[in-house]
Structure 1
Amino acid sequence: METDSPHDDARRALGAGIADPFFAEALFDALPDVVFFVKDEQARYVVVNQTLVQRCGQRHKSALIGRTPAEVFAHPFGQTYMAQDMAVLAGDSDIEDQLELHLYPNRDPGWCLTRKTALRDAHGRIVGLTGVSRDLAMADKKNPAYRKVAAAVTLIHEQYGQPLHLPDLARTANMSVAQIERYFLRIFHLTPRQMIIQTRVDAASRMLAGDASVAEIAQACGYGDHSAFTRQFKATTGLTPSQYRQLSTGRP
């Protein structure tokens, strides 16, 4: 039979002694590049930081508290975030570093990595969820491996419309597969696959402002299958390509 470690005892004692379980709210208010939130069993906001308030085009936290994402964000973004929340609250799975493209109130796009995890009571029952959404940081150009990895990034940016495989990226950077995966995370805070997705969705977003058909854009961005492109685009932006075109340009 396992016994609690002194570490577990210390955590329990400290937790019992903290008057405000949401003490982290003030800390997250000081992080302008991180969205932080806590939601109840109905996915209603209970705690938010100031960054989230600003991203929603609001001035005060009271504009969000007690409301769900579907009530806060424009359609269909709110419905997408709500579906994520309900899956986490149902115990299906947590969301870990989901690459997402957001449209801010002024319609400027911004990339982030989102995490959501269920909150459980002492009996293991899910009682809510908490999450963060981090703006993608600038590349760490001081890393000694930056120049090697940058060669692989250049390949992605120049040939995103072609099939791109990890071994090819590794050879371009003169690294092993394990090395290039490790250095991508250290330097860009993304996996190589996430950067490929980001580059393709960025390109598709620009093309959707023009007159090319969705099928033509899918082909140009390296997706031989129109439906695969639509699935990936929606998983990343919360919108289908057609919905994104209408929202960003005002035309179907």
Structure 2
Amino acid sequence: MAQAQLQEREQAADARDALGARIVDAFFAEHLFDALPDVVFFVKDVEGRYVVVNQALVKRCGVKQKAALISRTPAEVFAHPFGQTYLAQDLAVLAGGADIDDQLELHLYPNRDPGWCLTRKVALRDAAGAIVGLSGVSRDLAMADQKNPAYARVAAAARMIQERFDQPLPLTQLARTANMSVAQIERYFLRIFHLTPRQMIIKARLDAASRLLMGPASVAEIAQACGYGDHSAFTRQFKATVGVTPSQYRLMLRG
């Protein structure tokens, strides 16, 4: 059985290599991603400069044509300090760091409306294994799959998160609310909401925080109101997800 599986894998690899050698345009996927308005697609060179982009990224950046992005880095495209954060993320991948897999991110669009995305970035390598660039996608969070048979039970746990995000919410408690095991609720959250329970808790807390940052409350008060035990933990989570500190985000909203 093992020998047969090995042969199947080798045949699949040979077929892949043979087709790859015949494709003239290595970036054929650009046109496919142009048809997906809720998915950003990009390819960057070893310096982190855009080489290929789709229309969704053009719209997200508030420019009119792809040419406005090509050969530029995120630091030259996005508002400070968001662009510098995205570039640093790219350079870490290009330096041989781990690929980025479904990282929850809050973006501030050109009209200053916030938007949630799940981002993936992978290094691109040549035949010798050297990193020559990176490719990535950033998916706008989709609507919940309400047709899933488990939706009603999982939605009960999601409502608990929305109503009690300022409190500790262990996964075991969410599982009991949905009458599921821990493994089941994690699996169904991904299928229905495209988020893990932990990601949804972070989203609920930072949604509330981003609204409160438009008002007069201090960052410490906002941290407490959003379920963070201390100011520093809140700031670390906010910067890891948004790319800027709460104070910087507040200044951008007011600017």
Normalized against structure 2, the TM-score is what?
A: 0.96
Counterpart position of 2:180: 175
1:244 is aligned to 2:249: yes
Give the distance between the partners of 1:195 and 1:240, measured in 2 at CA: 20
2:42 maps to amino acid = F
Once the 2 structures are TM-superposed, how far is the Cα of residue 18 of structure 1 from its aligned partner? 0.3
1:155 is aligned to 2:160: yes
Once the 2 structures are TM-superposed, how far is the Cα of residue 249 of structure 1 from its aligned partner? 2.1
Q: What count of residue pairs does the alignment treat as equivalent?
A: 250
Once the 2 structures are TM-superposed, how far is the Cα of residue 54 of structure 1 from its aligned partner? 1.0
Matches within 5 A, 1:98-247: 98-247=103-252
Once the 2 structures are TM-superposed, how far is the Cα of residue 148 of structure 1 from its aligned partner? 0.5
Helix, strand or coil at the partner of 1:185:
helix
Give the distance between the partners of 1:108 and 1:163, measured in 2 at CA: 28
Helix, strand or coil at the partner of 1:5:
helix
1:234 maps to amino acid = K
1:106 maps to amino acid = N
Helix, strand or coil at the partner of 2:106:
strand
Matches within 5 A, 1:17-166: 17-166=22-171
1:16 maps to amino acid = A
Write out the 4+ residue segments of structure 1 that deviate beyond 2 Å after TM superposition.
none
Counterpart position of 2:3: none
Helix, strand or coil at the partner of 1:97:
strand
Q: Deviations over 1:140-161 (max 9, x none)?
A: 1111111111111111111111
Give the distance between the partners of 1:136 and 1:159, measured in 2 at CA: 21
Normalized against structure 1, the TM-score is what?
A: 0.97
Once the 2 structures are TM-superposed, how far is the Cα of residue 58 of structure 1 from its aligned partner? 0.6
2:102 maps to amino acid = D
Give structure 2 stretches of 5+ with no counterpart.
Answer: 1-5
Give the distance between the partners of 1:162 and 1:183, measured in 2 at CA: 23
Helix, strand or coil at the partner of 1:129:
strand
Once the 2 structures are TM-superposed, how far is the Cα of residue 239 of structure 1 from its aligned partner? 1.1
Q: Deviations over 1:121-145 (max 9, x none)?
A: 0010000000000000000111111
What percentage of residue pairs aligned between the two structures are identical? 78
Once the 2 structures are TM-superposed, how far is the Cα of residue 70 of structure 1 from its aligned partner? 0.5
Give structure 1 stretches of 5+ with no counterpart.
Answer: none
Once the 2 structures are TM-superposed, how far is the Cα of residue 78 of structure 1 from its aligned partner? 0.2
Give the distance between the partners of 2:71 and 2:97, measured in 1 at CA: 24
Give the distance between the partners of 1:247 and 1:12, measured in 2 at CA: 48
Q: Deviations over 1:48-75 (max 9, x none)?
A: 0011011111111100000000011110
Give the distance between the partners of 1:75 and 1:249, measured in 2 at CA: 14
Cα RMSD of the aligned pairs, angstroms, is 1.2
Helix, strand or coil at the partner of 2:75:
helix
